[in-house]
Structure 1
Amino acid sequence: MRDFAPPDLRPFGYFVHHQGRGHAERCAALVNALPEARPVRIFCARDDIFPPLRPNVTITRIPSLFEPTGQEPAGAALLDTPETMHCAPVGWRGIRRAMGQMAAFFMAEAPALMIVDVSAEVAQLARLCSVPHVKILQHGDRTDPGHRAAYDSAAGLLAPFHSALDQPEWAGWADRTHHAPGLGLRTRMPSQDAARQRLGLGGATVALVVSGQGGNGLAEAPLGVAARGFPQMRWITIGEVQRDWHATVPPNLEHRGWVDTASDHIAAADVVVSSTGNTTCAQVLSAARPWIVVPEWRYFDEQVEKARALDSAGAALHLPHLPGSAHRWRRVMHQAMDRHDPDRQRALAGNPDAATDAASWLERLSARLWDMAPDFQHHDQKDPTHA
């Protein structure tokens, strides 16, 4: 039976949220760094968002836990959601199928670990099925009972960022947390000169505005105000921008939309204004540019808390919203330039060994959970999940 197989031969399970590509890219980097002999079973509602995966890694496509099909009973939707859950509607056949597929995997394969990126419900399912789980740690106000249950019951927490960006309330989890800044992200940036040459920007002073993929983007009107306030600068936006009918767009403001050259644009910039998505943060930290962060709306105020952490760590200037006047824009631009600390930014960016180090931590954690000698349990009181 799988329960009695050596711990290094038992599979790891891995749940991947399918919004955007960041979760999938992080997963691919991590599982590809695991030993070739380690089987991995990925559960995700999409199978087309992953980079190439090594042999011995399979993807099981499951129904979305978050998107209705239109066949759900309206009456059941009136049931209150308990505080221990976030997204647990009643009567959804897709959720039953998805959770059933993972529970069947737990029973048949007895996985050594279940990595959850991210769902408090899936994390709790693993624990209820007697499978140890590793929860990806995310910024945000996650003090609710649902998140607390997922984190408190985890065998370990994997934080894909530098420890200097931890939120104060996480101190109690420090001995179970492994930090992997830059995990799954392209943090090696081109030189500014090379990036400018490829983009044809010449010697212009460039302010780059970056919106992430997970939301509706930043508003156009305040960007027009900024560009008019700095007519000597070239303002370029990449990503989604919310168009405003009343916006007066000057000629030095250019919307480029979605591009495949985000890293070049960030490297070419003299100052960056952005939301705080994972990929954007890693790239701006690596490029070490003066940086203004304006969080977009996300569940549990994820980007708000990350922006606060970046500001507290001396890596960026956090604004709650885009300035609404030219004089305010001038003030915050000067603030961002004056407090810019490129060495601090690079120190927080991470390193190319993040995936290898995290994979080694997972292997050590698995071995200690499943292969403890009796004297270890009685005499060594150190937390076996400590990285």
Structure 2
Amino acid sequence: MRIGYYAHHHGSGHCRQADKLAALLPASSRKNFIVFTSLALDAYTFNTVAKSQIVRLNPEGEREDDVLLGRAGQHWQPASLHYSPVGNSDIQTRSWQILNAIQEHDIDLMIIDVSVEVAMLCRAASVPYLYVRLAGIRDDTPHLNAFAGALGLLAPYPKTLEAAETDDWLKQKTLYLDFLPDKNSKSISYNEFIASFANLTDDNERNKVSSKLTRQLNISENSKQKPKIITVIKGYGGHEAIDAKLPELRAMQPKALIISLGPIADDKRAYVDIATQVVDVSPFLMHSDLLIMACGLNGIAQAYHHETPLVVLPDERPHREQEVMAAALIAQGRALSWQQFVEQSNSTQNTDSLLTLSAKSDIYQTRNNLNIKTAAQALMDSFIDYTATKSWFEKWLLPQLNLTPERINNKNKL
């Protein structure tokens, strides 16, 4: 089967998810995986998808010559769409680009990550699609219509992190893919990790870090004691809320080596030992004693299967996506809220006792058992095993979901 993947342009995460799925295909089959996106060229560099397989779409923003604005209010826009300007020449061109590319590349099935409007365009044009269902509460009419119009739904997270409020029919129609691993991440030893600090700092910071490692923490080359390392990870979607916690974090952990990855306010740099940006955060996930981060999908996907204790500070996002994810992680015992962290820090100065995650075998065993095929791998393999969408839908997808639509058996309804 030939797969089209629509990747939304808000952030690089949607293109990164497409890249991860493409990496699960054998190299000989990746030519059948086409990405549709309007993300800027310099915003993300694909690792497994060739330039010839990327359809660069027109923008979809409002224009001064729009006949009707995209959100014109009740009685002026369809309830099935979030955003639907009238007379917008960019969107007209974009719609033709999508449909023409589907025909040109002979796409059998679209994966839409995410756009209600692209989903409705595909459904109206009778193009089969799967819809990526992100975390959070998406029970508005446009989302429900996009979900209903899909052959199936894909959740890029484990079922254990599903929101309790999610309707049963949505859960049943969803394939839970778990968090996809980043095959480009690197594994380095602890000593290599410590040595890498020299490349992350300028001369003043390097002296500061060296002093903390050797004097405050009494570390020497022959000592078996390790410094306590706390890594704070922030994205560009918003870092102010986490930055605001840095003075309190420093007060609670005065001897810890605190590393800030990502953007940071100038007036908060004094509360951390290293402030930098890195391409690959995996060494920090592996070797830190504590992680503090928001609940963006890609960040949690990288941290979830490591045993490093995690404190979550969810950002405000539409549909409560980070708040819901944080609540699920806390309920599962994989993370602490900031308040829980403060309370436990006040009762102990030993970060190691904050969480005992080694006992959470249900989190780690599946990922570490190489004999178990992941749901994401099974999905991508199915696109190779079946050459026609109809047979794939009836013989592979529906048995996975345990569903039978009316067109196959009128006695059974979704």
TM band (smaller chain)? 0.7 to 0.9
| Residue deviations 1:154-175 (CA, integer Å, cap 9, x gap) | 1122222222112231532344
Q: CA shift at 1:227, angstroms? A: 0.2
Pair 1:28-2:28 in alignment: no
Conservation of the 8 A alpha-carbon contact between 2:13 and 2:298:
yes
Query: In structure 2, what is the equivalent of residue 199 of structure 1?
Result: 197
1:341 aligns with 2:360: no
* Residue identity in the other structure for 1:180: L
Q: How many pairs does the alignment contain? A: 363
Any residues of structure 2 matched to 1:322-341 within 5 Å, and which?
A: 330=346, 337-341=353-357
TM-score normalized by the length of structure 1:
0.79
CA distance in 2, matches of 1:13, 1:164: 28
Following the alignment from structure 1 to structure 2, what is the Cα–Cα distance between the partners of residues 305 and 365?
36
1:358 aligned partner: 379
Q: Distance in 2 between matches of 1:277 and 1:258?
A: 17
Amino acid at match of 1:29: K
**Is the Cα contact below 8 Å between 2:58 and 2:90 reproduced in 1?**
yes
Q: How far apart are residue 192 of structure 1 and its match?
A: 4.2
- Tell me how far 1:335 sits from its aligned partner: 9.6
- Give the whole-Å Cα distance in 1 for the aligned partners of 2:349 and 2:162: 26
**Percent of residue pairs bearing the same amino acid type:** 23
- Kept in 1, the 8 Å contact 2:242–2:313? The answer is no
1:52-91 paired onto structure 2 within 5 Å: 52-53=47-48, 58-65=53-60, 67-68=61-62, 71-73=64-66, 76=69, 79-80=72-73, 81-91=77-87
Higher relative contact order (CA 8 A, sep 6+): 1
Judge conservation of contact 2:55–2:101 (CA < 8 Å) in 1: no
Larger Rg: 2
Q: Structure 1 pair 290/117, CA: closer, same or farther in 2 (3 Å)?
A: same
Q: In structure 2, what is the equivalent of residue 185 of structure 1? A: 182
Please report how far the alpha carbon of residue 112 of structure 1 lies from its aligned counterpart in structure 2 after TM superposition: 1.3
Aligned to 2:37: 44
User: Alpha-carbon deviation of 1:264?
Assistant: 1.9
- Report the residue type matching 1:311 in the other structure: I
Q: Offset at 1:328?
A: 8.5
On the 8 A contact 1:193/1:268 being kept in 2, the answer is no
- Tell me which amino acid in the other structure corresponds to 2:116: A
Q: Residue 31 of structure 1: CA displacement?
A: 2.6
Letter in 2 for 1:341: L
Tell me the residue number matched to 2:206.
none
Q: Cα deviations across residues 330-358 of structure 1 (Å, max 9, x unaligned)? A: 36988994443235343476888655333
Distance 1:148 1:191, change over 3 A: farther
The amino acid of 1:340's aligned partner reads: T
Alignment of 1:281-320 (within 5 A): 281-319=300-338
Q: How does 1:14-163 map to 2 (within 5 A)?
A: 14-34=5-25, 36-37=28-29, 39-46=32-39, 47-48=41-42, 49-53=44-48, 58-65=53-60, 67-68=61-62, 71-73=64-66, 76=69, 79-80=72-73, 81-107=77-103, 111-163=107-159
Q: Measured at CA, do residues 189 and 154 of structure 1 come closer, stay the same or move farther in structure 2, by a change above 3 Å?
A: farther
| Residues 382/327 of structure 1: CA separation in 2 closer, same or farther (3 Å cut) | closer
| Structure 1 residues 225 and 338: alpha-carbon distance in aligned structure 2, compared to 1, 3 A threshold | closer
Q: Distance in 1 between matches of 2:93 and 2:250?
A: 51
Tell me, in whole angstroms, the C-alpha distance in 2 between the residues paired with 1:140 and 1:54. Answer: 29
Contact 1:115/1:134 (<8 A) preserved: yes
Superposition map of 1:236-255 within 5 A: 236-242=259-265, 253-254=272-273
Kept after mapping to 2: 8 A contact 1:211/1:217 = no
| Counterpart Cα distance in 2 of 1:175 and 1:315 | 25
Distance 1:385-1:176 versus aligned 2 partners, 3 A rule: farther
User: What code does the residue aligned with 1:63 have?
Assistant: N
Change over 3 Å in CA distance of 1:224–1:239 after alignment to 2:
same
Query: For 2:51 and 2:384, how far apart are their aligned partners in 1?
Result: 16
CA displacement 1:55-97 (0-9 Å, x = unmatched): 69611110233x44x5444863561155422233344322221
What is the aligned partner in structure 1 of residue 203 from structure 2?
Answer: none
What is the TM-score normalised by the length of structure 2?
0.74
User: Structure 1 residues 33 and 82, CA, compared in 2 at 3 Å: closer, same or farther?
Assistant: same
Q: Which deviations, in whole Å up to 9, do the C-alpha atoms of 1:21-69 show, x marking residues without a partner?
A: 322222123234336356233211134524233569611110233x44x
Please list every run of 5 or more consecutive structure 1 residues that lacks an aligned counterpart in the other structure: 1-7
Distance 1:269 1:78, change over 3 A: closer
The answer as to whether partners of 2:4 and 2:111 remain within 8 angstroms in 1 is: yes
Secondary structure of 1:104's partner? Answer: helix
State how far apart, in whole Å, the 2-side matches of 1:149 and 1:137 are.
13
Q: Distance in 1 between matches of 2:274 and 2:244?
A: 12
Deviation string for 1:196-231 (max 9, x for gaps)?
Answer: 343357532112111123334534332112202321
